[in-house]
A = this chain, B = another copy of it.
Amino acid sequence: MLVVMKKNALPEEIEAVVSAVEQKGFMARPIPGGERVAVCILHNSGAVDASLFLQLPAVKEVIPVTRPFKLVSRESRANDTVVEVGGVPIGNGHLTIMAGPCAIESEEGALEIARIVKERGAQIFRGGAYKPRTSPYAFQGLGEQGLKILARVHSETGMPVVTEAIDHEVFDLVEQYADIVQIGARNMQNFSLLRRAGKSNRAVLLKRGMAATIDEWLMAAEYIMEGGNNRVILCERGVRTFAHHSRNTLDLSAVSVVKQESHLPVIVDPSHAAGFRDQVVPLARAAVAVGCHGLIVEVHNHPERALSDGAQSLYPDQFSDLCRQAEAVSELLHPLREKAAA
């Protein structure tokens, strides 16, 4: 950490900063810069609270140097983590496609969509049993009945299933039925839920919050890993910006940065980023091209009758196109990948 002094800081003010640092048990080293002095803090074992120094006289700013996350960081583990779920690997060179309806609406419908997406290229089935909805008057999902349908889909088709747990109580239930428990964007900093996920033996799909920095997102994953669960999959799903031609702005450079900073697999949700069906396939291609480890996509056999997110759900034939194109792009990256690994 670097404590930057104001231009005209007095020697005794600089000395006061040095003392404050030393009182915390660290070493301080004042550094005369071009126009002002900065005091470097040494031998701190982790992040130091900036606010301790910000309030001292003649301190201009405090600049953190060390990143706050540990277990999720690439520095703590050089090799890519591969999360295996029911025989399906996620991470490091695999392209895993998860697909299904926004919400589970009926057993018959779920099974039909599951058969369609499996046949056309999905390895994992997605479907919501508990839906976080902006309005209390909107359809909230089938609840446990939806989970039972998911279990049925798993046993009938062999596909592992991913579904969201919207709170602690629901987590206990979801864990019994799902192979991957999703923590949604709105819950990315629901720290109780993250701690609960840390105690689960299920893989966890952690969506990025709609205004979360990469540091905050990785810190949320750190909560889960700190609890003992190493099977975390990150999911970029767009961030909220001034732009409104898509529901959110898909931030693909986040995929590159996460892959540099962390060893965890990172997938992309083009459906929630886009909000409109026509943008989903192009964004899916782009996500694979940037180097993500998988996609999670909304597909419905009758989007026009879907109880939620119909406008962004793909028709089965569009999903076939998506799989074909995503795999073609992924194939193309393989030699690049091998070259990089060599």
- What residues of chain A have their CB less than 8 Å away from a CB belonging to chain B? 1-2, 4, 6-8, 20, 29, 31-36, 38, 40-52, 54-56, 63, 65-66, 68-69, 75, 132-137, 166-170, 186-187, 189-193, 195, 210-211, 213-216, 219, 222-223, 226, 239-246, 249-257, 260, 273-274, 276-279, 282-283, 285-291, 303-304, 306, 308-312, 321, 325, 328-329, 332-333, 336
Contact = CB atoms under 8 A, between A and B. Distances in A.
A69 B7 CA distance: 13
A278 B254 contact: no
Contact of A245 (B49, B66, B253, B306): B253
Instruction: Classify the secondary structure of A's interface with B.
Output: mixed
A201 to B, nearest CB: 19
Contacts of A133: 191
A77 to B, nearest CB: 12
Given A50-B311, A245-B257, 18 more contacts: A20-B304, A31-B31, A31-B40, A33-B44, A33-B66, A34-B42, A34-B45, A51-B308, A52-B304, A55-B277, A55-B304, A134-B189, A166-B191, A167-B168, A239-B242, A239-B249, A243-B254, A325-B336
A7 to B, nearest CB: 5
